[in-house]
Every structure is written in structure tokens, then in C-alpha cells.
């Protein structure tokens, strides 16, 4: 538990440190970066897989434009689009659907867009079109990379700059366009990429900040829930013996009582009292008395370990045990086992009338409850049985039938 708290504290410190880094920093420390990528994959996987299917569908549908605008050479364009570009796009798209990590899906998506971009560039330079109308298709690929698929900035930067440089170099070397036309295209694509880069950078920056803030909220929520749980445990736990207190006992027995009514099962109670405890305190002091209470409490817990059983501190030197699905005979055997286990602790008692050691008296009551009865009757019967055990010499077990004199 302490190690977990220490790890949480360290993680919180690392997360807060990331918030203070430079605005232009797009990489976390090694410990946080790995978690961010897992988070990103879980958040973006479905969207990116849908995007690749949509992107490939758009790529193939542009074959209609090839036919309409360049009807005279559409067969050659079809060859570029479907024969050269189609198979690798389908293969990479299939791999994206099967990807298992954030890194895989990012790289494969980058490869997909580079392939689509190169095919379009090849089609641009195959066409004898001085206006190079088809280069608008290249901007669609870049646009898709920057804003449509959730790629991280480093990948969008690589796609945008690679396609831009390849297009401009080939345009200058192969087509040798008019100077004004070349400068126009150059400025358009440069600023188009610049706007896309800003958008992509801001998107990833926002994702990273959201991850940090959500992680901090999650850690704080965990700490809050832990504190609440601890507070609740303190409110229903006796601080000395660490047993449930009377408040929790009341909630438990009412719940078990209703269950026993519903299933028509026995429920038993054992009231336990440490014999001559006041004399022990007077003789040896309250610190020694507290030690005895803790040891007796541990002895009671060691005997009753079933899920339907409860050991609680009832008050002072009294304890109460609730045994679900337990008949009177079994409850008496358990009570006798408890009596012996306490005696076997061999805690010296300097002022007991019955033994040189600490002993306990126990009262047992058992019943199959019905709707008309209250759990208070069971507790009262166990208390009366305890009183009988004290009257008859202590260090013994007595029983009492519920609701009978």
C-alpha cells in the first residue's frame, strides 16, 4: 500500500512537471510518454480505422473524376490509380485495421498517405496539362493528413513536407512551368502546409494537455476515494481492537436478519464478556487492559472467519458475534472453542476469583426469524444467556431461547 501511494505521488509529480514544460515541447518524459501513447491508441484507434476506410474509398471514387475530366487518357489514369496505387493502399489499410499499437497505426497511416500522394504526383506529371489542375488532389491528401485522421504532428510534418518537396522539385525539373505559375503554386502549397502544421501542432498539444489533466484528475479521484474509504472505515471501526464497532454491527445484523427471514435460515448470536475485567484494570492499569482487549479480539477473529460471520466490539469489555446460517448446537461449539482459545492465551489475571488467567463468559442464542420479530430479541436473548453464565460461575457458555422466559 505504501509503495502504491509512493508511486502515485511520483507519477503526480511527473505529470505536474510536464505541465510546466515549454509550449513547443511535444514529447513527455519516458515514463509518461508510454502511457500517453496507450491513451492515444485507446482514444483514436476506432476513429483512425474508420478514417482509413473512408480515405481509401475517396481515393477510389476519384476515378470518376479521371473519367469525366480526362476522358481521353482515363485508362492510363486508371492504371496509376487502381493498378499501381490500389493494391498497396488496400494492403496498408488492412494492416491498419489489424494494428496493435499507437506507433504501428501512426506509421502505417503515414505510409498510406505518402503512397496516395505519390500516385497523384505521378498522374499530375503524366498529364499534359499546363494548368496542372490535378494538383488540387495533392492538397486533399495533405488536408487529410493534417486534420482528418488524428495523426501526431511529427507524422503530418513528414507527409506534408515530403509531398511538397517532391512535387515542387519534379515540377521545376520536368515540367519547367511558367515562372509566375511556379511561384503561385509554390506560395499556395507553402502556406497551405503552414496552416496545416499549425493546426496539427495545436491538436496534438491539446491532446497531450488533456491527457495530463485527465491523469491528474484520475489520481486525485483515486486519492479522494481512498480517503473516503478510510474515513468510512474509521467511522465503523473500533480504534482500539480494529473490530467493527456497534454502529457497523447494527447495520450488519439488520441486513443478515432480513436475509435469514427471506431464506428461512438460522441466525445465532454469541455475547462475550471478559471476566473481572474491571479488577484487571484496577490492578495493572488501563494500558495492560487495552492489550487484553486486543488479544481477546484477535482470538475471536481467528475462530470466526466465514463470510456471513461478524465479530464486533459491543462496548467496554463486551463483544458480540453474529453467525449466519448457524444452528444453536454449532453456535455453542463455536462459543466453547472461543472460551478455550482465550483461556489458552494464558494472560495472567492477578485478581480473578475463578482462574489465574484471563477468561471469558459467553451467552448463546439462535433463531429462525420471521417478519414479526426483531433482531433485538436475538441480542437480548444472547445477553440474558451471558448474564446466566456469570451467575453460574463465569468462564462458561450458556444458552437462551429467543422470546421465551
pLDDT in tens, 209-225: 888 888 888 887 877 67
Q: Which three cell numbers stand for residue 268?
A: 445465532
In a shared domain, residues 167 and 314? no
Centre a 10 Å sphere on the Cβ of residue 362 and count the other Cβ atoms it contains: 27
Instruction: State the residue range of the domain holding 213.
Output: 2-220
CATH number, domain with residue 305: 3.30.70.270
In a shared domain, residues 275 and 349? yes
When pLDDT is cut at 50, 70 and 90, the band that residue 298 belongs to is: very high
In a shared domain, residues 8 and 145? yes
Report d(CA 293, CA 100) in Å as an integer: 57
pLDDT in tens, 338-351: 999 999 999 999 99
Put residue 386 in one of left, alpha, beta given phi > 0 → left and psi -120 to 50 → alpha: alpha
CB 96 within 8 A of CB 41: no
In a shared domain, residues 105 and 26? yes
In a shared domain, residues 329 and 367? yes
In 3D space, the residue among 217, 195, 200, 223 whose CA is nearest the CA of residue 19 turns out to be 217
pLDDT in tens, 367-380: 999 988 899 999 99
In a shared domain, residues 255 and 343? yes
When pLDDT is cut at 50, 70 and 90, the band that residue 33 belongs to is: confident
Q: Which three cell numbers stand for residue 61?
A: 471514387
| Total count of domains within the chain | 2
pLDDT in tens, 242-285: 999 998 899 899 999 999 999 899 999 999 999 999 999 999 99
In a shared domain, residues 165 and 277? no
Put residue 245 in one of left, alpha, beta given phi > 0 → left and psi -120 to 50 → alpha: beta
Q: Is residue 240 part of a domain?
A: no
In a shared domain, residues 264 and 315? yes
When pLDDT is cut at 50, 70 and 90, the band that residue 405 belongs to is: very low
Q: Is residue 325 part of a domain?
A: yes
pLDDT at 167: 85
Q: Is residue 235 part of a domain?
A: no
Report d(CA 238, CA 246) in Å as an integer: 8
* DSSP one-letter code for 20: T
pTM: 0.58
Nearest-10 crossing angle of helices 30-61, 86-97: 140
Concatenated DSSP letters of 140-164: HHHHIIIIIS---HHHHHHHHHHHH
Determine what percent of the chain is predicted with pLDDT higher than 70: 92
Amino acid at each position: 500500500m505504501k509503495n502504491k501511494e509512493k508511486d502515485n505521488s511520483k507519477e503526480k509529480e511527473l505529470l505536474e512537471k510536464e505541465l510546466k514544460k515549454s509550449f513547443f515541447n511535444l514529447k513527455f518524459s519516458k515514463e509518461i510518454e508510454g502511457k500517453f501513447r496507450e491513451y492515444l491508441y485507446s482514444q483514436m484507434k476506432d476513429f483512425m480505422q474508420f478514417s482509413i476506410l473512408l480515405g481509401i474509398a475517396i481515393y477510389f471514387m476519384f476515378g470518376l473524376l479521371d473519367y469525366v475530366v480526362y476522358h481521353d487518357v482515363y485508362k492510363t489514369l486508371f492504371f496509376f490509380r487502381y493498378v499501381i496505387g490500389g493494391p498497396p493502399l488496400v494492403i496498408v489499410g488492412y494492416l491498419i485495421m489489424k494494428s496493435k499499437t499507437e506507433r504501428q497505426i501512426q506509421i502505417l497511416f503515414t505510409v498510406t498517405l505518402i503512397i496516395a500522394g505519390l500516385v497523384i504526383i505521378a498522374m499530375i506529371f503524366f498529364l499534359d496539362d499546363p494548368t496542372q489542375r490535378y494538383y488540387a488532389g495533392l492538397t486533399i491528401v495533405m488536408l487529410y493528413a493534417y486534420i482528418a485522421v488524428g495523426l501526431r504532428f511529427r507524422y503530418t510534418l513528414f507527409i506534408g513536407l515530403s509531398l511538397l518537396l517532391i512535387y515542387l522539385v519534379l515540377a521545376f525539373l520536368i515540367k519547367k512551368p511558367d515562372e509566375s505559375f511556379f511561384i503561385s503554386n509554390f506560395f499556395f502549397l507553402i502556406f497551405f502546409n503552414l496552416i496545416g502544421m499549425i493546426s496539427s501542432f495545436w491538436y496534438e498539444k491539446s491532446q497531450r494537455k488533456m491527457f495530463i489533466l485527465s491523469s491528474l484528475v484520475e489520481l486525485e479521484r483515486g486519492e479522494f476515494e481512498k480517503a473516503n474509504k478510510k474515513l468510512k472505515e474509521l467511522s465503523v471501526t473500533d480504534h482500539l481492537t480494529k473490530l467493527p464497532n456497534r454502529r457497523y454491527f447494527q447495520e450488519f445484523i439488520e441486513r443478515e436478519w432480513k436475509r435469514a427471514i427471506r431464506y428461512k435460515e438460522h441466525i445465532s448470536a454469541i455475547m462475550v464478556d471478559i471476566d473481572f475485567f474491571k479488577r484487571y484494570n484496577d490492578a495493572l492499569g488501563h494500558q495492560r487492559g487495552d492489550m487484553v482487549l486486543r488479544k481477546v479480539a484477535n482470538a475471536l477473529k481467528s475462530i470466526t472467519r466465514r463470510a456471513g460471520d461478524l465479530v464486533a466490539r459491543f462496548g467496554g469489555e463486551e463483544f458480540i458475534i453474529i453467525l449466519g446460517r448457524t444452528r444453536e448446537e454449532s453456535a455453542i461449539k463455536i462459543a466453547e472453542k472461543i472460551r478455550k482459545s482465550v483461556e489458552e492465551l494464558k494472560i495472567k489475571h492477578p485478581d480473578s476469583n475463578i482462574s489465574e488467567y484471563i477468561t471469558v463468559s459467553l451467552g448463546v442464542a439462535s433463531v429462525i426469524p420471521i417478519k414479526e420479530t426483531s433482531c433485538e430479541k436475538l441480542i437480548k436473548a444472547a445477553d440474558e444467556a451471558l448474564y446466566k453464565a456469570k451467575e453460574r460461575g463465569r468462564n462458561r457458555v450458556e444458552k437462551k431461547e429467543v422470546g421465551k422466559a
